[in-house]
Chains A and B, each alone.
Chain A
Amino acid sequence: DTGVSQDPRHKITKRGQNVTFRCDPISEHNRLYWYRQTLGQGPEFLTYFQNEAQLEKSRLLSDRFSAERPKGSFSTLEIQRTEQGDSAMYLCASSLTPRTVATNEKLFFGSGTQLSVL
């Protein structure tokens, strides 16, 4: 168990460029979450996957953002036409959670990808 891995750790881009981040969850974790954290704020939920299905998207996730988890393992988060307001830490988390049984989900977070849009 190597934990949740995110790549890259840091990304600097110019406004208007597209960027893509990758998240590798803990092996066999069926749920994967994306959060965004800006300076001085707590993480904000963006979206989550149950296996390959994207089950929920926050209203924070504008149409410039797209997330995929094609095989139910790693996930990518793409931001198109980046804006300075997109500068933030993007966090990924995963969990092993049965969908139809009451349980208290425990999230394991990665260290995040720090995005700076110039």
Chain B
Amino acid sequence: GDSVTQMEGPVTLSEEAFLTINCTYTATGYPSLFWYVQYPGEGLQLLLKATKADDKGSNKGFEATYRKETTSFHLEKGSVQVSDSAVYFCALSELQEYGGSQGNLIFGKGTKLSVKP
């Protein structure tokens, strides 16, 4: 079945460092891809998404590009801040009957990011 694999954490970086969190997926069709973030004590929030190959999702300085050839959706940020400390989840969604993505998501295990001042 479909699955998502993301790099193991925790990841500890200094402020202003470059961030990459790797995510690869296995899917039978052409899923939509997502990054969700979970800040301490809060619910999951959608960070960014991409719905087709070569799409780039971006938000709050984070970016990820849907690479069909490598089945990857790596998360990057050029300069992290202490406030980016959170757990990041890569996820995929199969196409709905009428197209688009749906909320039945398959998540990776999450990567905990800690940013030190």
Chain A interface residues toward B at CB < 8 A: 3-4, 31, 33, 40-45, 48, 56, 91, 93, 95, 97, 99-112
Is B61 engaged at the interface, CB distance under 8 Å to the other chain? no
A44 neighbours in B (Cβ, 8 Å): 107
Secondary structure call for the A interface: loop
**Dominant secondary structure at the B interface:** strand
Residues of A within 8 A of B98 (CB): 99-102
| Interface size classification for chain B | 20 to 34
Min CB–CB distance A59 → chain B (angstroms): 11
Is A105 a contact of B101 with CB atoms below 8 Å?
yes
Beyond the given A103-B100, A105-B101, A108-B43, please list 10 additional residue pairs across the A-B interface where CB-CB is below 8 A. Answer: A33-B103, A42-B4, A43-B89, A91-B43, A102-B96, A102-B99, A104-B32, A104-B51, A105-B102, A109-B45
CB of B51 within 8 A of CB of A107, answer no
